[in-house]
Amino acid sequence: MTETAAGTAQLTNDLVLPYLNHAIRMYAEGYASRDDIDAAMRFGCGYPVGPLAAVEELGLEKVRDLLAAQYAVTGDELHKPAALLEQRVQEGATTLAAADGSETAAPQLRHDVRTVGVVGTGTMAAGIVEVFAKGGFDVVFVGRSQEKLDGVVAGITKSLDRAISKGKLTEEAKAEVLGRLTGATEREALAEVDLVVEAIAEDLAVKTQLFSDLDRICKQGAILATTTSSLPITTLAQTTSRPEWVIGMHFFNPAPVMKLVEVVTTASTSAEVDETTRALCSVLGKVAVSCGDRAGFIVNALLFPYLNDAVKALESGRADMATIDAAIKEDVKLPLGPFELLDVVGNDVSLAIQKELHAEFKHDGFAPAPLLEQVVAEGRLGRKTKRGFHDYS
């Protein structure tokens, strides 16, 4: 191996190993199951293999030794081999643990769900409307103006027309989907829905006001779901008189394409609401993974520290962006390099999530990279502004 190749391999290890270590800790804590952690990263990020499976493919002892070497250099607790990893190596194991248990039964619909409400008219909201309508549900969607509502219908129509042009949908099926849509400018239109999913701005004050409204408007027995990616669902539940009916249903963008939904329960969410929500995901053709209510859930908690570490590697002068992006794609077979992905997500969104993770986990290693803060301060937010880490003008 040439000196350059060795340096690139070391860089890749230094970025990927903490991600694997964090996934092992997440599993050891019982935050999410082994299968759900791996499925979340495969279906949420398009990774070829989940982190726990990757550790076992590389070899537990090898991963432990590489992390120990990284920890010896950095002294960062995030690089110290997870206790479970050390334990399994000492036991001579080749897997992180035995299977999670006997095969669990498929989730069932414990509550009748026929009509779904969606609050919001942005890209995510429109995608969720389309997913439920295509899944056979009548959908009432609420926006601030008729123009916004018309935009949702126009976007869904365009999506359905694309499917027709590819031979994946018929004109009759298109008419059926559009016939299931009802737009409204007043939240009171949600009075009789069986499930409502909010997909409005990531602003806690705005969302809590909405949940208070939904509690007043929606019938008893309606499930109140949020697709928040970073805000505390428990806080939203506490604004209602029915916290047991509140749950997270975190779709990934674009919702009609992405298979993953993180189903997030609070301490108050009822088991039947949880099971019904997971069963609904199956009806929609989605992959549901279960986790508790804490910052980042599964995907963001594992993804963004890795992206943040890539920014730190750039600002330290270890390598340029092109080298880092190429190394990750070539060595780990990820679909996008970290800077390409940051620009797709939006650097402002990435910074906000990293701040949430830092506040939640209180690891110095999770502090946002100064360069990420600088890029956001300069308005270089990514593809949406034509400039981010890369230039798209």
Spot the catalytic one: 22, 79, 111, 250: 250
User: Could you tell me the pTM of the whole model?
Assistant: 0.94
- Contact predicate 199/118, CB 8 Å: yes
pLDDT band at 105 (very low <50, low <70, confident <90, very high): confident
Q: Active-site residue 360, yes or no?
A: no
pLDDT band at 98 (very low <50, low <70, confident <90, very high): low
Which position among 21, 230, 270, 300 bears the catalytic label?
Answer: 300
pLDDT tens-place string over residues 6-57: 668 889 999 999 999 999 999 999 999 999 999 999 999 999 999 999 999 9
What is the overall mean pLDDT for the chain? 94
**Residue 369 pLDDT exceeds 70:** yes
pLDDT tens by residue, 299-357 = 999 999 999 999 999 999 999 999 999 999 999 999 999 999 999 999 999 999 999 99
Q: Give the closest residue to 46 by CA, choosing from 334, 390, 373, 274.
A: 334
Which position among 262, 275, 340, 356 bears the catalytic label? 262
Residue 91, C-beta contacts closer than 8 angstroms, at least 6 positions apart: none
| pLDDT of 104 over the 90 cut | no
Selecting among 13, 21, 159, 229, the annotated active-site residue is 229
Domains of the chain (ranges; CATH) run: 3-99+298-385 (1.10.1040.50), 115-292 (3.40.50.720)
- The pLDDT confidence band at residue 277, using thresholds 50, 70 and 90, is very high
With bands split at pLDDT 50, 70 and 90, how would you rate the model's confidence at 4? low
Reply yes or no on whether the pLDDT at 178 is more than 50: yes
Residue 274 has pLDDT above 60, yes or no: yes
Q: Is residue 390 among the annotated active site residues?
A: no
Task: Indicate if the pLDDT at residue 162 is higher than 80.
Answer: yes
CA distances from 26 to 9, 156, 210, 287, 291 (A): 26, 37, 32, 20, 10
Asked which of 10-19, 80-89, 96-105 is least confident by mean pLDDT, the reply is 96-105
Question: Residue 300 catalytic?
Answer: yes
Q: For the chain, give the percent of residues with pLDDT over 90.
A: 91
Q: Is 315 a catalytic residue?
A: no
Q: What confidence tier does 202 reach under pLDDT thresholds 50, 70, 90?
A: confident
